[in-house]
Chain A
Amino acid sequence: MLKAKQYKSGVKPIWCPGCGHYSVLNAITKAFAALEQSPEQAVLVSGIGCSSRLPAYLNSYGFHGVHGRALPLATGLKVARPDLNVIALGGDGDGFSIGGNHFLHACRRNVDLVYVVMDNEVYGMTKGQASPTTPEHWQHSKLTPHGPEVRPFQPCALALAAGAGFIARGHSGDPNGLAQMLFAAVKHPGFAFVQVLSQCVTFCPEQVQWKEQVHAESVGTDNPAEAAHFLHSDDGFAKGIFYCNPRTPWPLPHDSQATDLREGFRL
């Protein structure tokens, strides 16, 4: 049985001091230790952005993909290698902007993988521009001097509407609670979405206050109507497992195999 820190690769992270992603990294190692899995059993697949550097910091298999495409890569990998524990990772820009459509269809398709989005409401790697989850009146970027002036994306509500069977929100201020949430997400059969409020103290110093704003909620329903009611009145700072309703993951088992199909179409 490995200790949590033994899942780290030894590569020194280049995230800013104070970044919430360190906490997510530690939560993942703690969840792996609790799962008692060997590093070779897991694959971490990411897109582009600060958070997408995470696979390099673990000694599991990793795939640092292209912008917004963590989910299609992870889907293909899981379908080809169902024996592996596949975790897709990324940030709010990567996952909800360029990768937004993949997010919706990953929820709908329900492949057995976990998707962790480290949401700091900003494009940090490119020095602080508004992302899909940036608050409407956030004025810290010269590109949007009056704020984005559009309502932020609601990832959990969208995940529910798109058909995700496991929806949760954690906070980087509570890596132990987040580890427990990730443990449950990995155990969940099907697509599991975990949004993590992960502060960017460099470009959004106001997010230091998140630790005062985050509050635990014990919703944990398998009823989509109850989950929808909760998520539509959510202030964005509730943490917990909001919805858990397992259904058979895709691809579904069939009697006929692809080889049989080839036989049927042989000329």
Chain B
Amino acid sequence: MNTALYEDELLFLAHSVTLEQEAAERLYELADTLEVHNNRPLHALFLELAQLSERHASDVLAHCQGRQLPALQAWEYSWPDAESPESFQYSQVHYLMSAEQALQVALEVEQNTLGFYSDVARRTTQPSLRQLAEGFAREEAEHVKAVQARLQALQCPALNNLDLDPPHSPE
């Protein structure tokens, strides 16, 4: 990752805003898709997750009030992986996925985001940036706990493997 991210508060905030907004957009997109495919339970679940994510994006934006964030192209962000950590990969979802699998995906991206903020908090030498990143990390830790609680409530016996169903081949 670009080491400037660890020292430049505005650059960090630009990443945080995009991270949260992209997460909400992707969750809304998936909720729409599941609605189109008439999977109502998962549509409702992802809609709820999207709304939560959107609220979190607003919270992060509130930290940017009156500050001019750098304008970056999509490929100029410095993420630990190809995409922002709170956006699930498209290939992780499937039209036959269960609620357990959906929550596993949600848990993974929340953990990735917690890792991202914690990493910045650990590496930065700027006290104000550390405070900001630690605050975001605490919020993400709450999200992780909330998703874990949802998973436990489902009393799912096997939570470790995303075992996608085989393809539907009617021919």
Contacts and interface: CB of A to CB of B under 8 A. Distances in A.
Contacts of A207: 91
A77 interface: no
Contacts of A23: 90
Contacts of A34: 73-74
Residue from A15, A33, A141, A204 whose CB has the most chain B CB atoms within 10 Å? A15
A266 interface: no
Contacts of A16: 33, 37, 94-95
Interface residues of B, number: 31
Nearest to A19: B90
B33 A205 contact: no
A68 interface: no
A236 interface: no
B83 interface: yes
Interface in A1-50: 4-5, 12-20, 22-23, 27, 30, 33-34
A127 B83 contact: no
Given A17-B30, A140-B169, A172 B82 contact: no
A208 B164 contact: yes
Contacts of B77: 176
Contacts of A205: 94, 164, 166-167
Contact of A176 (B30, B74, B170): B74
The 7 closest A-B pairs by CB, nearest first: A180-B75, A30-B74, A174-B82, A176-B74, A12-B32, A17-B93, A179-B74
Interface of A: 4-5, 12-20, 22-23, 27, 30, 33-34, 127-129, 140-143, 172-177, 179-180, 183, 199, 201-205, 207-208, 210-211
5 contacts: A17-B95, A128-B167, A175-B83, A176-B79, A179-B75
